Structure 1
């Protein structure tokens, strides 16, 4: 009888230790989930900063284009009054328009490349977060199943020890 009591007591102690381990595991998983969420928040903030920077660069380029247009307009007026030749003005105007179109094209290309890069980074972060979330959910499910089994075993142990 004493041996059975000692065996049951050892089993209960093992179950109690297992329960502590399971609880610590749950806490670690919860911390890991919070760390993932913090990483996602940080990534979103980084994306916002990158977008702000890209907007700033685009505004600077537009300002340069506007300044070029103003200089072109002034040059056109001065040239017309001094020389009175329409052909020279047309040549200068075509050259500046070509440069402006080229600059606008480069700006559009830069905006598209920044947007594509950010989209790829966001997509990769979302996929990573989804995968980690699924892994965490599976782990939590396993932990809950183990807890349920341990609870059932403790219940059965109490019934059989009476």
Structure 2
């Protein structure tokens, strides 16, 4: 409709009619940052793909209702969606060169909920490392935590190596 009047073409997120919105269940034992990252990422995708603000509001509203059905809390949904929607759309559409991205030191470990927030501890003690000139040279960016997957039952029971 707006194209006829102003010549501006609106785009919006396409959602297949057969989509069942089987988002990651909130009661699963994933790292808590997985849930917030997924919500923010999906909200960014909709923000990037919707040029009309009304279409964006409708899409985000439906997205939030689907998340509530999967057990997500209102404040968690709101916080992550708002942080995504506060980014300017032009910034989301900007091409980022590979040189813009520096790869930090990555601390890889298996995830377990009883470990606490390792990332928070690393950030806290990074300041102490940064005081030392040699460490500052070795670690110009803050280290980040990456969780590797535990071996599952299938991997334990079944060997992928074919024995002759």
| TM-score scaled by length of structure 1 | 0.22
Higher relative contact order (CA 8 A, sep 6+): 1
- Looking at CA atoms only, which structure, 1 or 2, has the larger radius of gyration? 1
Structure with bigger helix share is 1
More strand by share: 2
